[in-house]
Each structure stands twice: as structure tokens, then as C-alpha cells.
Structure 1
Amino acid sequence: MSVAIVIPARYGSSRLPGKPMLPILGTSMLERVWRIAKATKGCSRIVISTEDERIIDHARSFGAEAILTPESCRNGTERSFATIKAASITEEAIINFQGDAVLTPPWVIQAMIDEFEKSQDAFDIVTPATRMSEEAVQSLAESKKINPASGTTVVFDKKSNALYFSKNILPFVRAKGFASTYRHIGLYGYRREALEQYVALEPSPLELTEGLEQLRALEYGMTVRVVIVDYQNRTHASVDALEDIGIAEEIIRREGELVL
């Protein structure tokens, strides 16, 4: 199955304007994400999608393909869908890889691509998750005392199709040794027709309640395949505010570059 990676990169962030262009150890977030995408195999096209010409110019400065999409796109999913027509994407599957995900190992994206290529049964959407140790679960529980919306967990069936995503820690452990806790990683790959279907759906009650867009897919009966990935002792973190840049730089100094 042919796969394209779309990198939504919005200049007009309310919290951090121009965020994709901000440098991390001398290289912009956007270029770092593009390099991670380039390190994967089996992807036939990578397109940066933005609402601002400044992002276009910056992307082209390091050799990336970039396209303008409407400012009205509310999130990366809508911008990925808009990119299909704007960039004349013909691939059968689209991976939405956010332009600030600088600490995402390329093998996480690779696992999503591989699932599209190898799976013998149909699914609409693919998303990664990682198995948590008991220590990691306890750490997440402590974090949630301060920020209840931090971290998302997922439970899935015997075919690795998602049953539910939540900001609560799932499953509740009454008896140990039967099921593990898996932390969801907010990346999504869509079959082309599934992406079109998803963006046409109205927001759903559970989605609005938990603030998790993937619950819309489940409530409307779409199949979300969960692929289990190993971060290989790399730190999972996101860049959402200016202070996160220093944190990301320290992680890269300590653990090394993901892609050279």
C-alpha cells in the first residue's frame, strides 16, 4: 500500500507563534521532523502543509516539499485532509505527523507504515502505543494529581483494535498480572477514504467529554488499529511551550540525535 506523510505546520500558534521555525540546538523543529520522516522506508511522499508563506519558504530552504492549505483548518487532521487535494496526493494512506514532534523516533512512524503494508485484515486508522512499566504508571498517576489531562492510555482487543482511549489510566487494576497499561502516542495514519469519512463526521459526545479526537472514530464505528512500539529508552515528550524547547534540547544532548 502506498503511503504519504503529511506534516501539518501552523505558523499562527496562539501560544507560540512561528513555533515550527524555532530552533532546537540550531535546527528548526520543522526540519527535525522532516528529517525523521525522511528516515522511514516505504513512504513515497512527504509534504509539509501550512497556512503561512513563511513556513513554505523555510521548508523549501532545506529541500522539503511544502503546500499552502486554508487557515480555517482547525487541527492537523483537517489540514492533512486539505493537503490531499491541494498537493494532488494519490497515495492510499496518509500519516499525520505533527510539525513539533521532534522527539518521535523514526521507528515509531515506521511501525505505522509497516502495519499498512503487512496487515491482512482491514482497519481505518492506525496509531501507536507503548507498554508502560509499573514505575511509569505510578509516575503518570502522580503527574495527573497536578495535571489531570496529562497522558492518554488505550485498551484494545485481541486483534489490536482500540476499545477505548482515556485521560484516566486504563485499565483499573483490581488484580495484577492479567493486563498491562499502554500509553497512547498521538500520531495517526488513515486510509485515504477513512480520513475523508472522519473529517465529515460531527464531533461525538465522548470526544467532547474527554477532549480526545480519536474517540470520534470509535463512536462512529471506525476501526482504530493500535501498533505497539518500543521507545528504546528514548524520552517521550512534546514541545508545546517556549520552556519545552530547553527541555527538548537537554534530552537530545543526553540521549543523542534521533537522525543524523
Structure 2
Amino acid sequence: MSAVIFIPARYASTRYPGKPLVELTGATGVKKTLIQRSWEAAVSVKGADAVYVLTDDARIADAAQAFGAKVLMTSEAARNGTERCAEGLAQLETKPDIVINLQGDAPLTPGWFVEALIDRMAADPSVQMATPVLKCDTETLENFVTDRRNGRVGGTTAVMRADGRALYFSKEVLPYVGSLESPPEVWHHVGVYGYRPAALDAYGTWPEGPLERAEGLEQLRFLENGTPVNCVAVEGRGRVFWELNNPIDVARIEAVLAREGQP
């Protein structure tokens, strides 16, 4: 099966304007922008035929082209990364079997997270949309709880059925964590999506629903319109996963880059 990776990136982030061009210092002291580190994560994926940065901002496009990325310009009307991916798909002459959305704020995404999505969708043609989930380790869960206690919106949690189909996604910590000493099983939603082209095309025709609007989570539009979202459990293999959502996350991500020896 053919697979294309899109990296949607916008400059006008509500929580962190200019986020894609924020510099992150690696283990060797080298500074690279967030969008470059996210692109490097994408090109490490096995089984992807092409990687594109999708943006409506010339500054991001210029920065991406400077480090060698292919860029597709999308409209300012795109309200989220999935809508931006739908616009990108419309620009491709040959449609891939699978479209991967690796969001531009997730530079710590291991390649095997994305490869697991591609494998899952290749094995089952009925899966229209899939996304990885990672069981929270102690450090990640503490970050989740600390952010919410301090009024910050950090990562996203997923609640699933026994067969892996998503019941809900939230920026709250779900299920409720009464104590970090004996917490329940909490699943961190990884900001990567796999779509069939037909599902991505349909997404653009649906209006934004009340749950998506309340949470600010684009994947809820699929659930609100009756399209199952298949959660694919992945393992960290000793790697820490965290997105760059707020300025405080710069130090968190740089600490991981240093600890893991990532340049």
C-alpha cells in the first residue's frame, strides 16, 4: 500500500503563536526548529512514500524548504490539521492508499508509532481512520496532572472500548486520577492519524460539532459523525513522548532530547 505523510503546521496558534519556528536545542547543542524536528521524525518512518509540510504561512514554508522539505500551500480557512490534510490530498495527482497526519508539534514521535498505523490499516481495509495511543508512564501522567492543576491544557487522553475503538478523547485527564500513588490506567493519545482518502474527503464536508468545539480536538468530528476511530496501542520502548503545546514544553522536550542523545 502507498502511504503519504502530511505535517500540517500553522503560525497563528492560539496557545503558542509562531510555535513551528520555535527552536529546540538537541543533545549536541544544535538548535533546530520544531517543524524541522517534526519533519525529521516523519522521514525516519519506514513505508512512507513521501513527506510534505502543509502550511498557509510563507515563513513556515520558507523555513521548511530551507532544510529540504517538500511543501504544499493550503488555505487560511483550514480550521485544524485534518482539514489541512484534506486540502493537501486534493493537490496530489496520484491518491495514496493511506494518508498519515503527523502533527507539526510532535517531534518526539518514534517512527514505529506511524508504522503501526500503516500496518494496521494495510491489514484491515475496513479501518477508515486510526490513531496511536500510549499507556502513560509515571513522568507523562505527572505532567498531565500538573498541567491541569495549573490551568494549562497539555496533552490528550483517550478512552476506548475493549476492541480498541475510541469512546472519547479529552484534554482532561480521563479516567479520573484520584492519586498518583495508585493511578488508574490512562492512555495518552498520540497526535498522529491515519486516514483512508474517502474518510478524509468526507471529513471536510461535515460541520464542526459541539464536542469538537468544546475540546478543540479534531478527531472528535469522526466520532460525532459515526465513523469509528481505531486506537492502535503502541509502546514507548524506553522513549518519552510529549508534544509541544505550551512554552513550558520546550524545556520538557529539550530534556528528553538531551537524555536520549538526540542531536
Query: For the superposition of Structure 1 and Structure 2, which TM-score range results when normalised by the shorter chain?
Result: 0.7 to 0.9
Amino acid of the structure 2 residue aligned with 1:166: S
Amino acid of the structure 2 residue aligned with 1:126: A
Structure 2 partner of 1:74 = 79
Amino acid of the structure 1 residue aligned with 2:21: M
Query: 1:228 aligned to 225, 233, 242, which one?
Result: 233
Relative to structure 1, the CA distance from residue 167 to residue 36 in structure 2 (aligned partners, 3 Å threshold; closer, same or farther) is closer
Q: What TM-score do you get using the length of structure 2 for normalisation?
A: 0.83
CA–CA distance in 1 between the matches of 2:53 and 2:217? 24
Structure 2 partner of 1:183 = 188
Query: 1:97 aligned to 98, 102, 107, which one?
Result: 102
Amino acid of the structure 2 residue aligned with 1:84: L
Residue range with higher mean Cα deviation, 46-55 or 152-161: 152-161
CA-based RMSD: 2.8
Query: 2:204 aligned to 199, 205, 209, which one?
Result: 199
Give the superposition deviation at 1:133. 5.2
Relative to structure 1, the CA distance from residue 129 to residue 201 in structure 2 (aligned partners, 3 Å threshold; closer, same or farther) is same
Give the superposition deviation at 1:69. 1.2
Give the superposition deviation at 1:145. 3.0
Amino acid of the structure 1 residue aligned with 2:9: A
Relative to structure 1, the CA distance from residue 90 to residue 203 in structure 2 (aligned partners, 3 Å threshold; closer, same or farther) is same
Structure 2 partner of 1:8 = 8
Structure 2 partner of 1:129 = 133
Unaligned runs of 5+ in 2: 26-30, 178-183
Amino acid of the structure 1 residue aligned with 2:134: T
Relative to structure 1, the CA distance from residue 159 to residue 235 in structure 2 (aligned partners, 3 Å threshold; closer, same or farther) is same
Query: 2:42 aligned to 37, 40, 46, which one?
Result: 37
Quote the sequence identity (%): 38
- Note if 1:161 corresponds to 2:165: yes
Give the superposition deviation at 1:193. 0.6
Amino acid of the structure 1 residue aligned with 2:130: V
Amino acid of the structure 2 residue aligned with 1:36: A
- Note if 1:51 corresponds to 2:56: yes
CA–CA distance in 1 between the matches of 2:205 and 2:86? 10
Amino acid of the structure 2 residue aligned with 1:160: G
Contact 2:155 2:245 in 1 (8 A): no
Amino acid of the structure 2 residue aligned with 1:127: T
Give the superposition deviation at 1:36. 1.0
CA–CA distance in 2 between the matches of 1:110 and 1:183? 18
Amino acid of the structure 2 residue aligned with 1:230: E
Give the superposition deviation at 1:14. 5.2
Residue range with higher mean Cα deviation, 139-148 or 84-93: 139-148
Relative to structure 1, the CA distance from residue 133 to residue 245 in structure 2 (aligned partners, 3 Å threshold; closer, same or farther) is closer
Any idea what the Cα deviations from partners look like across 1:104-132, whole Å, max 9, x if unmatched? 222212211221222x3512211111123
